[in-house]
């Protein structure tokens, strides 16, 4: 059930017992409303989700996280998939694929795969248990603030679901080379993916902070407002835990009193950092698609494959659904993401006041689909780790793989650096200016 919040206006009634909350995407101050279990409160202006009330408290999230911890160990201890050729069986684990890439000199790619498929899922699962297990026995988690900030990072950079799709594409390609043997880690990874999604969807941050003893999720009653937005009233919203605070920016350290994250009314140097990441991604997008992403050596000679030639191979071999998925994830999505972020940044630079709601939706879509571009990187990692048959056939990662991995990371950093509240600032400033002109004209 979705409920829209009510906008709070200047001259906020001090006797109004409804708490105030600031939207993290458009900065509008709004009144909270009671929610039923499973309900979501949405911003009345940009429709962003302000918070969700989970139906089962800590129990479901803790159970899923504990199971995810067990499956994470299995997924990294056993082989994912194997390749059998003439009685020889070559198997690989996730860490084995990372080791092969590192040995071949592709250490940036090895580090990226290690972080996104091994480290961040572990932080997500074990961090959730670290926070919720003590609360389940009515104890306060040690350093809950630091662990919570790590958990926020893990949610952004953990890509188990993309890895599973990459494994599916790799299995289809390997099936044309030799007999594919699925390992126990393949099935545990699929279950791990589902459990991490269930953990994230069941995790109630508000209930967690309430259990810790930091239940102040909104501004105190009777706070005088100077404007419709949080920044106009000197109110700062924490990007990690969502706490709205006032007066913290006058302190020397400017940290959230609850989770310890750095506070600012707007992301510092948001547009300049967004443009820097975006231009670098646009430059690297060209070699990522022009240079070979894989080098194959066999008894029949050497072959260099680009991302597009891999799409063509899947299409001609009859796997056209996977060909479409790879084309969208590896070619269309990075290009469209660069164009979309460029449009958002340019619209703020040009102080556009039209289509604010549409631009806010574009920003949310960009954040949602960006990680799926990692698909081809995971396919390359599996193929490189498995196709190592000495004189018969070997596959090595090409220079385009590093460029493409950099494009994915840079576009994600560009989206994270962009402050969506800047989309609404120009409209708010224009509205206030028109209101002042109207008052002056009336006088």
Q: What is the CATH number of the domain that holds 277?
A: 1.20.140
Task: Determine the pLDDT at residue 252.
Answer: 53
**Residues contacting residue 332 through CB under 8 Å, at least 6 positions apart:** none
Kindly report the number of other CB atoms within 10 A of residue 45's CB atom: 22
Q: Let me know whether 203 and 225 are in one domain.
A: no
Residue 412: closest CA among 237, 242, 258, 281:
281
Last residue of a domain, one of 214, 230, 252: 214
Last residue of a domain, one of 193, 214, 235: 214
Q: Which helix (H) or strand (E) holds 397?
A: strand 393-397
Kindly report the number of other CB atoms within 10 A of residue 200's CB atom: 17
400 vs 410: CA distance, rounded Å: 15
Q: Let me know whether 258 and 288 are in one domain.
A: no
Number of domains in the chain: 3
Task: Determine the pLDDT at residue 302.
Answer: 63
Q: Let me know whether 95 and 187 are in one domain.
A: yes
Identify whether the C-beta of residue 81 lies closer than 8 Å to the C-beta of residue 167: yes
Q: Let me know whether 202 and 233 are in one domain.
A: no
Q: Let me know whether 409 and 330 are in one domain.
A: yes
Q: Let me know whether 14 and 74 are in one domain.
A: no
The torsion angles phi and psi of 379, rounded to 5 degrees, stand at -60, -45
- Domain enclosing residue 17, as ranges: 2-55+215-265
Q: Let me know whether 62 and 163 are in one domain.
A: yes
70 vs 50: CA distance, rounded Å: 32
Cα-based distances in Å from 85 to 51, 88, 173, 353: 53, 5, 15, 62
* In the block, residue with structure tokens 């297990």: 133
Q: Let me know whether 399 and 415 are in one domain.
A: yes
Q: Let me know whether 399 and 294 are in one domain.
A: yes
Over the chain (443 residues), what is each successive 10-residue block's mean pLDDT?
A: 58 54 85 79 85 79 95 93 76 88 89 94 96 90 91 92 87 78 89 93 86 58 62 80 70 74 86 96 92 72 76 80 83 91 93 88 88 86 74 74 92 93 82 60 59
Q: Let me know whether 124 and 6 are in one domain.
A: no
Q: Let me know whether 161 and 100 are in one domain.
A: yes
84 token code pair? 């059998």
Q: Let me know whether 360 and 391 are in one domain.
A: yes
Task: Determine the pLDDT at residue 338.
Answer: 94
77 vs 52: CA distance, rounded Å: 36
């Amino acid at each position: 059930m979705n409920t829209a919040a009510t906008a709070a206006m200047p001259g906020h009634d001090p006797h109004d017992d409804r708490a105030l909350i600031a939207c993290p995407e458009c900065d509008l101050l709004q009144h909270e409303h009671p929610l039923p279990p499973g309900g979501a409160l949405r911003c009345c202006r940009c429709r962003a989700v302000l918070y969700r009330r989970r139906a089962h408290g800590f129990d479901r999230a803790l159970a899923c996280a504990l199971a995810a911890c067990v499956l994470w160990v299995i997924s990294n201890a056993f082989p994912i998939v194997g390749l059998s050729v003439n009685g020889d069986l070559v198997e690989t684990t996730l860490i084995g694929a990372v080791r092969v890439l590192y040995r071949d000199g592709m250490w940036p790619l090895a580090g990226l795969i290690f972080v996104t498929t091994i480290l961040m899922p572990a932080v997500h699962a074990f961090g959730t248990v670290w926070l919720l297990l003590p609360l389940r026995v009515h104890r306060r988690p040690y350093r809950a603030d630091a662990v919570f900030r790590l958990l926020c990072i893990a949610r952004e950079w953990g890509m188990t679901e993309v890895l599973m799709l990459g494994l599916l594409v790799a299995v289809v390609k390997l099936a044309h080379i030799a007999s594919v043997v699925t390992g126990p880690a393949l099935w545990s990874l699929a279950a791990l993916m589902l459990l991490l999604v269930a953990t994230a969807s069941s995790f109630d941050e508000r209930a967690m902070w309430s259990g810790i003893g930091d239940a102040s999720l909104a501004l105190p009653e009777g706070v005088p407002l100077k404007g419709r937005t949080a920044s106009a009233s000197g109110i700062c919203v924490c990007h990690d835990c969502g706490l709205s605070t006032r007066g913290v920016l006058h302190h020397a350290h400017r940290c959230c009193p609850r989770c310890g994250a750095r506070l600012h009314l707007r992301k510092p140097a948001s547009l300049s950092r967004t443009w820097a990441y975006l231009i670098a991604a646009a430059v690297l997008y060209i070699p990522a698609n022009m240079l070979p992403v894989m080098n194959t050596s066999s008894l029949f000679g050497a072959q260099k494959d680009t991302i597009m030639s891999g799409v063509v191979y899947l299409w001609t071999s009859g796997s056209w659904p996977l060909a479409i998925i790879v084309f969208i994830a590896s070619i269309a999505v990075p290009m469209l993401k660069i164009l979309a972020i460029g449009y958002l940044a340019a619209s703020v630079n040009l102080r556009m006041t039209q289509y604010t709601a549409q631009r806010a939706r574009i920003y949310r879509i960009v954040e949602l689909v960006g990680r799926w571009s990692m698909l081809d990187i995971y396919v390359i990692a599996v193929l490189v780790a498995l196709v190592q048959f000495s004189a018969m056939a070997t596959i090595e990662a090409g220079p385009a793989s590093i460029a493409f991995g950099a494009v994915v990371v840079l576009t994600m950093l560009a989206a994270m650096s962009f402050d969506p509240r800047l989309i609404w600032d120009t409209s708010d400033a224009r509205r206030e200016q028109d209101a002042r002109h109207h008052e002056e004209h009336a006088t």
